[in-house]
Amino acid sequence: MQDFHIGKLVVIGVGLIGGSVAAALKQKSAVDHVVGVGRSSANMQRALSLGVIDVVCEEPGKAARDADIVLVAVPVKQTAGILEQLQDAVQSGVIVTDAGSTKRDFVRIAENVFGANSASVVPGHPIAGAERTGVDAAHAGLFSGKRTVLTPSPDTNPQAVASVAAMWRACGAEVVQMTAQHHDAVFSAVSHLPHVLSYALVEMIATRDDAEELFSFAASGFRDFTRIAGSSPEMWRDICFANSEQLLRDIDAYQRALAVLAEHIRSGDGQRLEAVFAAAANARNAWAQGLK
């Protein structure tokens, strides 16, 4: 990807994801100028001091003028308001992409806002993250060896898709494509549902009268299972609503699986309980082995 280069990149939302994209491209000398747009002046000044961005602009529309690529990396509920401010830029051919964890809603909003001009909008989702937020959590290696999913529609400009794919590859990511609907079904099961479960477990423990004692004895298993409950509540609230239909189906399926386990425990059926655990352990270990 040495030939890939961006003259002007605009990052709207200079947090973990947006900041890491800027940092990675700067590290590879793949971008000349990075403009940051964000709600928190303190975070934006911090991004400047770290050299993640080169200048701050308060208005997305103004920042996007003459940009090569605009990356929208904000909680999904903010997307509509941001895209509305990018209409002039998109009309002039500026490529817009995002980093949201849900894609059908982004596609729908982009089509409503831009109409025929939505051909230069490339929905994206980097499969990387951490429980920390803000530009201080950003680092150039965040996407190295990770996947980024692009969900272009049949009408999306192939050159725009190629440019966005090249940007993510320059950040070290492997780029794959799928439909927005398939994306949301996949990530409801393997990302959105686990976050809901993690938040629910911590909330259940935290609201008990003996919460202090329980937390004092919690060790590595509890830590590993609940790590993602330290993620941004605002972001995950928006994701749950954006993908609510699929997520509710997966919550129902999980509740049915728990009910089966509860019945095995209630009836003392150790053989069936162990069989479920064994099947799950085999599946999990096979998946983990494939990551090596």
> Same domain for 115 and 244?
no
> Same domain for 128 and 234?
no
Q: What percent of the chain has pLDDT over 70?
A: 98
Q: Quote the pLDDT of residue 292.
A: 66
Q: Count the alpha carbons within 13 Å of 149 in the hemisphere toward its beta carbon.
A: 18
Q: Quote the pLDDT of residue 231.
A: 87
pLDDT in tens, 62-116: 999 999 999 999 988 899 999 999 999 999 999 999 999 999 999 999 999 999 8
> Same domain for 162 and 188?
no
> Same domain for 199 and 122?
no
The whole-model pTM stands at 0.90
pLDDT tops 90 at residue 16:
yes
Band of pLDDT at residue 131, cut at 50, 70 and 90: low
**Average pLDDT value over all residues in the chain:** 95
Q: Quote the pLDDT of residue 219.
A: 96
pLDDT in tens, 42-55: 999 999 999 999 99
Question: Which among 157, 178, 199 is the end of a domain?
Answer: 178
Where is average pLDDT lowest: 28-32, 197-201, 231-235, 236-240? 231-235
pLDDT in tens, 229-272: 998 898 899 999 999 999 999 999 999 999 999 999 999 999 99
Question: Which among 143, 178, 213 is the end of a domain?
Answer: 178
Domain hosting 216: range is 183-291
> Same domain for 161 and 229?
no
Q: What domain count does the chain have?
A: 2
Question: Which among 114, 149, 178 is the end of a domain?
Answer: 178
Band of pLDDT at residue 1, cut at 50, 70 and 90: very low
Q: Quote the pLDDT of residue 2.
A: 55
> Same domain for 12 and 128?
yes
Residue 69 is encoded by which pair of tokens?
A: 């690529």
Determine the average pLDDT of the residues in 159-175: 97
